[in-house]
Amino acid sequence: MNYLMRGGDGKAYGPVPAETVRAWFREGRANLQTQLSPEGMETWWPLGEIPEFTDLAAPPPAGAPPFQAAFPAASPVAFPQTCGLATASLVLGILSPLRFGPLTGIPAIICGHQARGKIQRSNGALTGDGMALAGLILGYISLVFIIFYIGLMAAIAVPNFVQARNISQRSACVNNLRLIDGAKEQWALENNARPESLPTWSQLVGPDKYLKITPTCKTGGVYSLNRVDTPPACTKPGHMLPQ
């Protein structure tokens, strides 16, 4: 059985085996009123009331130094402390899925990894590995949720964006076809052209002509003028004047 011993300075020393307690008693560093606590228990008893040491009822050797003066030289008990980074990781991890997302999720992951490293290197002086692990898990969950949410929004937004862009490009192309058709009508009127007449671009486009520049389709389609009685057309599917 190992015991903790409370010194005259109020500090706990140990745990030490019963043989060490007996040696300290013989050296005068402990007496029958010295408080002992068996390892793993929180109750303290005088040394003389513990059955294992009832045979030490004899008085300490004459001239032995008092316990309070001699015992502080022994090593104090190093009670483990909770790692602050582990606590921070857990708190940040709890906050991340609730509202703050990556703003606290990423720091929770960083603090969690650092805390687990410090705890492993502390040789038992620090505790809180479970809290650090929980903070890590919550932080990663928040990141996975954010990535999933962004992917879902992208899956919804990208097709809509493509559709809107296609509609805009088609509208611009149809507007070009209207301009070309109007230029053809003006050319036919001024030149008394027959319905089967086929104008050329040089007759329609120019500084002093019906169109200042040659219209182009934004999607790479090619325009054909066609006859006077036939609307102009674009090679891009769906780009046509309404009938």
Reported confidence tier of residue 184, pLDDT bands at 50, 70, 90: very high
146 Cβ contact partners less than 8 Å away, ≥ 6 residues apart: 101, 102, 105
What's the mean per-residue pLDDT of the chain? 84
pLDDT of residue 227: 94
At 151, give phi and psi (nearest 5°): -60, -40
Measure Cα distances from 34 to 2, 19, 28 in Å.
15, 15, 11
pLDDT digits (tens, 9 = 90+) for 27-56: 888 888 888 888 877 788 888 888 888 877
pLDDT of residue 76: 47
Chain centroid, CA 104 distance in Å: 7
pLDDT of residue 183: 94
Least Cα distance to 87 among 25, 129, 56 occurs for 129
Helix (H) or strand (E) holding 5: strand 2-6
Cβ 229 vs Cβ 195: under 8 Å: yes
Which residues is 231 bridged to in the sheet?
none
pLDDT higher than threshold 50 for residue 64: no
Output Rg (C-alpha) for the chain, integer angstroms.
45
* Cβ count within 10 A of residue 141: 15
pLDDT higher than threshold 80 for residue 138: yes
At the topology level of CATH, where does 2-73 sit?
Dna Ligase; domain 1 (3.30.1490)
On the 0-12 / 13-18 / 19+ scale of CB atoms within 10 A, 33 is exposed
pLDDT of residue 99: 62
Of 97-101, 128-132, 164-168, 175-179, the least confident:
97-101
E strand residue ranges, 109-204: 126-127
Chain centroid, CA 30 distance in Å: 55
Average pLDDT over residues 225-240: 93
pLDDT higher than threshold 60 for residue 106: yes
pLDDT higher than threshold 80 for residue 71: no
